[in-house]
Structure 1
Amino acid sequence: MKVYGVVGWKNAGKTGLMERLVTDITQRGYSVSTVKHAHHSFDVDHAGKDSYRHRVAGATQVLLASRNRIALMHELRNAPEPPLEALLAQLAPVDLVLIEGYKRDAHPKVEAHRAVTGNPLIAVDDPTIRAVASDIALELDRPVFDLDDTAAIGDFILAEVGL
């Protein structure tokens, strides 16, 4: 599988860019999966639901299945967070996996950047960031795209991964 990341500081536009890229690239006929890194605890089920009750009772994995979707939750129970490679190995094969976050990992990435956040560019010190998508013009040693030019960013990513 080909992998490509979208990174950036909080409120830089990562999730919106991810959403637009998934739409754009799937409309071109490619299959796409996503991985999203969260820096905090999160729940995909809620108190009172059967799956939540199973998990709280001590189950390591809880699989929910219906005719529309399946969801597998794996409770780490104080085990270390698995590396990105281990998570990717669990995905069904697709043409492209887009990864939101994991900015310190070695896969190629596009950095989302909004000037209003006041955050510095990650790309300046990170050669794995192959391009920047920004809401302002930037002078860099790599391509800079308008943050809203999803088609151009999609073209760049697909060319980078050979699709």
Structure 2
Amino acid sequence: MSPKKVFGFAGWSGSGKTTLIEQLIPRFVMRGLKVSLIKHAHHLFDIDRPGKDSYRHREAGASEVLITSDQRWVLMHELRDEAEPDLHRQLERFSPCDLVLVEGYKHADIPKLEVHRPSVGKPLLQPSDPNIVAVATDAPVDCGVPRLDLNAPDAISDFIIEYLDRRHELRTAALR
């Protein structure tokens, strides 16, 4: 496992994971943390458009295409017939940072916050996932972990930082 602090978000489609993460990132950045994010997609996706040079180069068979400018860069890697790398392999690709947020990778062995809205009509994931350390919800639910108000991103960001700091302290103490 990478030495970076890693924290995941799990929940059914439509529960508000992306919206919550979007609210949390600036709160972590205001604390002075350098934050990265990995999002797992369960479907075919493309960040490029047909007709663009990079798209044409990938379609022609290039294994990787790096697009760079004075504002950002992105590296696209075509798996072709290769197996999808697991989360831990993907985490190794990140530049140094303080915190990696993970959206998706529902079954990964990392601490996670479940984002749950009963209005979505799906059951809690938490009872069957020991890696879910809290549930953020907009309604009362019975769960065996701390329940956080989904509409209180400051409290959620505090919980995540405190949880990761406590976990880091326990790991450090165990190594002594």
- Whether TM exceeds 0.5 here: the answer is yes
Unmatched tracts of structure 2, length 5 or more: 169-176
Regions of 4+ moved over 3 Å: none
Alpha-carbon offset, residue 137 of structure 1: 1.3
Alignment of 1:15-94 (within 5 A): 15-94=18-97
Alignment of 1:70-149 (within 5 A): 70-149=73-152
How many equivalent pairs are there? 163
For 2:143 and 2:125, locate their aligned partners in 1 and report how far apart those are by CA, in whole Å: 12
* SS of structure 1 residue aligned to 2:114: strand
For 1:26 and 1:137, locate their aligned partners in 2 and report how far apart those are by CA, in whole Å: 30
For 2:146 and 2:6, locate their aligned partners in 1 and report how far apart those are by CA, in whole Å: 19
For 1:18 and 1:78, locate their aligned partners in 2 and report how far apart those are by CA, in whole Å: 32
For 2:11 and 2:144, locate their aligned partners in 1 and report how far apart those are by CA, in whole Å: 18
Alpha-carbon offset, residue 43 of structure 1: 0.5
Give me the TM-score of the superposition, normalised by structure 1: 0.98
For 2:134 and 2:41, locate their aligned partners in 1 and report how far apart those are by CA, in whole Å: 23
Give me the TM-score of the superposition, normalised by structure 2: 0.90
For 1:137 and 1:152, locate their aligned partners in 2 and report how far apart those are by CA, in whole Å: 17
Identity %: 49
Alpha-carbon offset, residue 148 of structure 1: 1.4
Identify the residue that residue 159 of structure 2 maps to in structure 1.
Answer: 156
Unmatched tracts of structure 1, length 5 or more: none
Alpha-carbon offset, residue 139 of structure 1: 2.4
* SS of structure 2 residue aligned to 1:158: helix
